[in-house]
Amino acid sequence: MNQFLKRRTFILIPAMSILKFIFQPITVLAASQASNNEWNLSKEEWKKRLSPESYYILREEGTERAFTSKLNNEKRKGVFHCAGCELPLFTSDKKYDSGTGWPSFWDSIKGSIETKVDFKLIVPRTEYHCSRCGGHQGHVFNDGPLPTGKRYCNNGLALKFVLE
Ligand SMILES: [Zn+2]
């Protein structure tokens, strides 16, 4: 009996430290939970505010087809806001052409986004969403340009571009 217990502990401890290592650096938040109560809207209220396409991206973590967003080729100076609550998320000077077919940025405006891990494609990916209304924006990868090395791969339908 004693030996059996020891063996189980021996297996469990390394497994738990691996899990801890995977989950530790990421803030885990529910997909569409707003941090600000004012933006804690019902499904019906969101449907009234958003187009069906934007609702699918922002509130159901959908992904638009590559190369379909006008914002993909947007090169003018300005700010990209959350299409759900208009919080500024990205500035045009951090936008770059990643060749993926989605508007891409190498950095976000400080404090404007939150991340969580999603397992939709089995391999874990880091999902990110608007820190105010919880609306899903896209996924962040570690193959972006310097100085951050990050690639924020964003759905154009989740953004609203405002010219500066
Ligand atoms: Zn928002």
β-strand 151-154 against 104-105: which pairing, if any? antiparallel
Distance from Cα 54 to the centre of ligand 1, integer Å: 12
- For 53, what's the count of Cα atoms within 13 Å in the CB-facing half-sphere? 9
Domains and CATH numbers, the chain: 26-163 (2.170.150.20)
Paired with 151 in beta bridges are: 141
* Positions of the chain with pLDDT lower than 50, given as ranges: 1, 24-31
pLDDT of residue 121: 80
pTM reported for the whole predicted model? 0.79
Contact 80, 158 (CB under 8 A): no
Distance from Cα 119 to the centre of ligand 1, integer Å: 23
**Alpha-carbon gap, residue 130 to 8, rounded angstroms:** 42
